[in-house]
Each structure stands twice: as structure tokens, then as C-alpha cells.
């Protein structure tokens, strides 16, 4: 019997995945309009009438607004966003000497910490409130085994994870980055810089979502732990800057206010509606808000069919009703943050894997992918994924091979375009797409990095893999093209 035949789960349970539980809350607003009384006194009126008129004036005095004209329209109606920006904050002069320092747990540089944590508290309250509501639903609707207990299910899922999930590419590469972008913008629109906003998204997507809400339904996912915050950073920053660009142009797109309003709505529907409500009443009715689309796979019938439900979720923070401080949306010309989306790198390549004889499988070519952060010219860290179809040594059948690992690279000769590097990491090998066949491995190797330009580079490396529990030794040689987002390497 070969290793690939060991520990097969013959009684695999059918499970239905509940995806992205909706967080929703309704909005209730009210406005109080006080009566305005105007009194005027005529010089020819008697003294008693003048006294009464003066008292009425003092009690009900108001300052009349000028008539609306083309010249003063912008001063009377000013679109005021519900957010703050790091670009309009002036940090200490030595702040960027430690570019990866964290300010997410404070407001030392003028960030809106109150807004951030108010939003965070709201998200947690809504999320776990929905969990409680689902727990009250019948089992045929919630698909939760109440005899097992929802907290026992959560505990089992956490203990069994994380695993390499089988969600569709649409959900992993589009849905989760969008959700990560939602978390990211909560911090970014509270005045935090990109690095802090990324760390906030990583914390929320890991502990609130993967090991929190979603763990009540399924085992935490390796891909989601990485893709959600990293690509969420890329999407969230794009959406944030696109909104800034539109607002700098007065809210117009291609000279059209209708296109501008539509674009702002889709970039951030809740904040866009909040701006409209606040401008309508001239007060801060809505301080901030977030919204996102979620997908739920709902089982029905007796044939294991599922139906996809799409939900639009809203979270709002009510303001104090105070007046706005007039401000304009413009970028600052001060020093740029050295940590931005340019440190995000994705790669695609080809490789060849040679396997230990104990696997009784012939190695072959592989397809290589990676997603990671290139912190500096000297150091990077990424998740690497390899897959291929290998030939079973005991039969002509093809076997699905997968290997995923978290690796770090240490580069030498970093000031030059050609840089040798060492790589090391740990991960798992998986056969036949079966979780029970996975084997833990550690790896180490050497490689060569060639910088083509700030955004593109070529890498070739050789890595040695050793499994302590299977007692196997494999090695892989790969060539990959690396793409750095944004401005790329600095």
C-alpha cells in the first residue's frame, strides 16, 4: 500500500457551505424644524410696540442666507464626505524612518480612532447578532445540527483548520478581495495609512470572519486568510483613490455629474447615501458607513441542490447631529508613504517536481502561483501554490498533486538588479484533492532574482522539501514571472 492510499475517509459527510453571512441594519432618521419668527419695528410705532418687537427679535434672531446664484452655488451646496484621510494629516518628521510601525491601535498622528472602533463594534454586534438569529431558525433552513451545538461545531472547525478550500475562483479571487476591501476602507476612511489599514483588514478577516463568523459554518481557509487582506488592500486602495479623484473633479466623471454620482455610489454605496442625507439636512446625521455584497449557498430539496442568494449588507454609524466643518477633497503634497500597494507581488510560472520513491508516483511538470508581500529589496514573504497531474507508479492513472507553503526569501546584493536569494518555509503536500491525504513539509532552497523594471522581475529557484511524518524528500525547480502592483519596487 502506498502513502497516497493511506487514511482515506470512506464516510465523507456531505456538507453545505453557508457563505458570507449578511450584516444588515435599518436606518431611522428624524429632523426637527423649529418655527422662525421675524419681527420688524417701524420708527413711527409707539414705545410699547418697539419693546415687544425687540424682545421677539432677540428671542428668534436668525441670519438670513443670501439668494442662491450661479456664483455662490458652490458655497451654499458643498458635498461633504463622511471620512478623513491620512494624506491630510501631518505625522512627525521622523515617522517614515520606521515604515512598518503600527498606529492602528492609537490615534497618535491625528487619525480618527473613535470612528474606527465605533465601526468595528458595530460590525461585531451585527455579525454575532445574525449568528444568534440563525441559531433560532429551524435546522432545515439554517443547516446547523443543533444536537451537536453551534459552539461545538465552531470549536471543531477551528481545530481542523486551516485547510486548502475548494471554493470557486470567482469567490476566492473576486468575492474575498472585495470583502477585504470593505474592511480596509473602514480604517483608510478613518484617517489611517495604507499599512495600518491593511493590518486592520488582516485582523478583521482572520479573527472576525475566518475564525469567527464563518467558522460556525465551515473550516477556516488558507487561501482566504491570505487573499482577503492582501488583494483586499489592492482593491480597497484603488476604490479609495478613485473616489478621491472623482471628488477632486467636483464629483463629475467625463464632465457628467450623473456619471460621477453613479460611480461614487458603486464605489461606496453607504457613504454615498450618507453624504446625500447629510447634505439634505445640513447636519451630520450619518457619521460613517460601510456596505458590501455577500453570497450565500442555500441548500434545498433532497438532491443536494443549492441556490445562490446575493445580499446587499449595510452598517451605519449615526452622527451627533452637529454641523459640518467645511473642507475640500484634495491631495497633500507632502512626502509619500513608502509602504503602499507596490509591496504586493503576484507571480505565475512553471516548474518540475521530482518525488521520493515512497510516494510511488512519477513527478512531472507543475504550474506555479504565488501571492505575497515584498517588504524591501532584502526580504519578502509569500504563499506559493504548485499543482500538476502526475502518473501513478502502480497504474497508468493520473493523480492530482498539490503543494502549498508559506515561504520567506532573503536577498543578497540587493542594490543590483541581479540578486541571489535563500528561501525557506513550511506547508503541505496534498494528493487527489483529499484533505486526509495531506502531509506536512518543510522546505529550503536557493534562487536568483532578476529585476526587469520596477513592476516586473524573473525568478528561478530550486527548493528541497522534507516531510517529517511521511519521511519523504522531494525537490522542485521553477521559473516564474513576478509582477509588483502599483509603482512596484522603490
Based on the fold, state whether residues 281 and 344 are members of the same structural domain.
no
CA distance 106 to 109: 8
Query: What is the pLDDT averaged over residues 393-412?
Result: 91
22 vs 136, residue with greater confidence: 136
Instruction: Please say if the pLDDT value at position 17 is more than 50.
Output: no
| Per-residue pLDDT at 354 exceeds 50 | yes
β partners of residue 441: 427
More confident residue, 331 or 13: 331
Q: pLDDT tens digits for 81-128?
A: 446 778 778 888 888 888 999 988 888 888 888 888 887 887 787 777
Regarding predicted confidence, which is higher, 58 or 183? 183
Question: Which pLDDT band, with edges at 50, 70 and 90, does 144 fall under?
Answer: low
Whether residue 69 is contained in a domain is answered as: no
Please indicate, yes or no, if residue 473 is contained in any of the structural domains. yes
Say whether both 254 and 347 belong to one domain: no
Closest CA to 208 of 225, 194, 190: 225
Percent of the chain with pLDDT strictly greater than 90: 38
Residues 382 and 299 in one domain: no
Residue 394 neighbours by CB distance under 10 Å: 11
Least confident segment among 64-78, 214-228, 334-348 = 64-78
Of 261, 285, 318, the one marking the end of a domain is 318
Same domain, yes or no: 284 and 345:
no
pLDDT of the residue at 271:
59
Over residues 299-318, the mean pLDDT reads: 55
pLDDT, mean over the chain: 76
Does position 348 have pLDDT exceeding 90, yes or no? yes
Task: Enumerate residues 6+ apart whose C-beta is below 8 A from 263.
Answer: 242, 246, 253
**286 within 8 A of 274, measured Cβ to Cβ:** yes
Within-domain flag for 420:
yes
C-alpha to C-alpha distance for 218 and 297, rounded to whole angstroms: 12
Same domain, 246 and 383: no
Distance CA 444, CA 449 (A): 16
For residue 216, is pLDDT > 60?
yes
Same domain, 93 and 182: yes
**Residue 80 resides in a domain:** no
User: How many structural domains comprise the chain?
Assistant: 2
For residue 14, what are the contacts with CB-CB under 8 A and spacing of at least 6?
A: 304
Note the pTM of the prediction, 2 decimals: 0.72
CA atoms within 13 A on the CB side of 351: 31
Domain carrying residue 267: 86-318
pLDDT at 245: 81
387 is a domain residue: yes
Name the β-bridge partners of 428.
404, 440
**DSSP 3-state of 31:** coil
Identify the CA nearest to 402 among candidates 346, 351, 470, 459: 351
Task: Quote the percentage of the chain above a pLDDT of 70.
Answer: 67
164 within some domain: yes
The pLDDT tens digits of the residues spanning 241-250 come to 888 888 777 7
pLDDT at 399: 92
Which has the higher per-residue pLDDT, 10 or 308?
Answer: 308
Q: What is the mean pLDDT of residues 400-409?
A: 96
Residue 95 domain-assigned (yes or no): yes
The more confident residue out of 23 and 102 is 102
* Whether residue 352 sits in one domain with residue 312: no
Same domain, yes or no, for 411 and 294? no
Q: Please tell me whether residues 277 and 347 are part of one structural domain.
A: no
Confidence class of residue 145 from pLDDT cuts 50, 70 and 90?
low
CATH number at residue 474: 2.40.160.20
pLDDT confidence of residue 105? 82
Are residues 268 and 347 part of one domain? Answer: no
Q: What is the mean pLDDT of residues 415-427?
A: 97
* Boundary of a domain, candidates 271, 287, 318: 318
CA distance 199 to 105: 10
Q: Which long-range contacts (CB under 8 A, 24 or more apart) does 321-328 make?
A: 321/283, 321/284, 321/285, 322/283, 322/284, 323/282, 323/283, 323/284, 324/80, 324/278, 324/282, 324/283, 324/284, 326/78, 326/80, 327/80
Vertex 376 angle, CA 370 and 380, to 5°: 30
Residue 79 confidence (pLDDT) above 50? no
- Highest mean pLDDT among 151-165, 308-322, 462-476 belongs to 462-476
Mean pLDDT, rounded, for 178-195: 90
pLDDT of residue 260: 81
Domain presence at residue 62: no
pLDDT > 60? residue 11: no
Higher pLDDT, 359 or 64: 359
Q: Which of 88-92, 236-240, 282-286, 327-331 has the highest mean pLDDT?
A: 236-240
Interval 249-292: pLDDT, tens = 777 888 888 888 888 777 765 555 656 666 666 655 555 555 44
| Contact status, residue 161 vs residue 435, Cβ threshold 8 Å | no
Write down the pLDDT at residue 221: 93
Average pLDDT over residues 388-396: 84
The distance of Cα 119 from the centroid of its chain, to the nearest Å, equals: 15
Q: Do 314 and 24 contact (CB within 8 A), yes or no?
A: yes
Tell me, yes or no, whether 126 and 264 share the same domain: yes
Q: Kindly state whether residues 285 and 346 are assigned to the same domain.
A: no
Give per-residue burial for 135-155: e unless 16+ CB within 10 Å, then b: eeeeeeebbbeeeeebeebbe
Residue 67: the pLDDT is 52
- As a whole number of angstroms, the distance between CA 29 and CA 45 comes to 45
Amino acid at each position: 500500500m502506498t502513502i497516497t492510499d493511506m487514511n482515506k475517509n470512506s464516510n465523507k459527510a456531505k456538507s453545505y457551505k453557508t457563505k458570507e453571512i449578511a450584516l444588515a441594519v435599518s436606518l431611522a432618521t428624524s429632523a426637527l424644524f423649529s418655527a422662525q419668527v421675524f419681527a420688524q419695528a417701524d420708527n413711527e410705532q409707539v414705545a410699547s410696540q418697539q419693546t415687544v418687537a425687540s424682545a421677539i427679535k432677540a428671542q428668534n434672531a436668525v441670519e438670513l442666507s443670501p439668494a442662491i446664484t450661479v456664483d455662490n452655488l458652490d458655497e451654499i451646496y458643498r458635498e461633504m464626505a463622511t471620512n478623513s484621510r491620512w494624506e491630510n494629516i501631518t505625522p512627525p518628521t521622523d515617522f517614515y524612518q520606521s515604515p512598518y510601525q503600527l498606529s492602528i491601535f492609537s490615534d497618535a498622528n491625528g487619525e480618527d480612532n473613535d470612528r474606527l472602533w465605533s465601526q468595528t463594534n458595530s460590525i461585531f454586534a451585527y455579525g454575532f447578532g445574525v449568528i444568534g438569529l440563525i441559531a433560532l431558525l429551524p435546522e432545515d433552513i439554517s443547516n446547523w445540527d443543533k444536537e451537536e451545538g453551534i459552539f461545538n461545531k465552531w470549536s471543531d472547525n477551528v481545530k481542523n483548520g486551516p485547510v486548502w478550500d475548494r471554493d470557486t475562483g470567482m469567490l476566492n479571487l473576486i468575492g474575498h478581495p472585495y470583502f477585504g476591501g470593505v474592511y480596509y476602507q473602514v480604517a483608510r476612511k478613518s484617517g489611517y495609512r495604507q499599512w495600518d489599514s491593511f493590518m486592520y483588514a488582516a485582523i478583521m478577516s482572520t479573527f472576525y470572519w475566518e475564525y469567527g463568523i464563518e467558522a460556525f459554518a465551515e473550516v477556516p481557509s488558507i487561501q482566504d486568510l491570505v487573499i482577503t487582506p492582501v488583494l483586499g488592500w489592492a482593491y480597497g486602495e484603488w476604490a479609495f483613490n478613485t473616489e478621491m479623484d472623482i471628488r477632486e473633479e467636483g464629483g463629475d466623471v467625463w464632465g457628467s455629474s450623473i456619471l460621477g454620482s453613479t460611480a461614487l455610489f458603486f464605489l461606496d454605496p453607504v457613504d454615498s447615501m450618507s453624504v446625500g442625507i447629510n447634505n439634505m439636512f445640513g447636519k451630520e446625521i450619518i457619521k460613517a458607513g460601510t456596505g458590501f455584497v455577500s453570497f450565500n449557498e442555500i441548500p434545498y430539496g433532497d438532491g443536494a441542490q443549492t441556490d445562490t442568494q446575493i445580499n446587499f449588507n449595510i452598517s451605519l454609524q449615526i452622527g451627533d447631529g452637529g454641523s459640518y466643518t467645511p473642507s475640500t477633497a484634495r491631495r497633500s503634497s507632502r512626502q509619500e508613504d513608502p509602504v503602499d500597494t507596490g509591496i504586493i507581488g503576484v507571480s505565475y510560472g512553471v516548474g518540475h517536481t521530482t518525488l521520493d520513491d515512497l510516494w510511488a508516483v512519477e513527478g512531472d511538470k507543475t504550474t506555479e502561483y504565488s501571492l505575497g508581500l515584498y517588504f524591501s529589496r532584502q526580504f519578502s514573504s509569500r504563499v506559493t501554490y504548485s499543482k500538476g497531474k502526475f502518473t501513478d507508479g502502480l497504474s497508468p492513472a493520473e493523480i492530482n498533486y498539490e503543494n502549498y507553503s508559506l515561504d520567506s526569501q532573503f536577498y543578497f546584493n540587493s542594490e543590483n538588479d541581479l540578486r541571489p536569494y535563500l528561501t525557506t518555509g513550511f506547508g503541505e503536500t496534498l494528493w487527489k484533492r483529499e484533505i486526509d491525504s495531506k502531509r506536512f513539509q518543510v522546505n529550503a532552497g536557493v534562487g536568483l532574482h532578476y529585476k526587469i523594471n520596477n513592476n516586473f522581475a524573473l525568478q528561478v529557484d530550486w527548493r528541497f522539501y522534507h516531510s517529517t511524518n511521511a519521511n519523504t524528500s522531494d525537490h522542485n525547480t521553477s521559473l516564474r514571472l513576478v509582477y509588483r502592483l502599483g509603482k512596484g519596487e522603490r
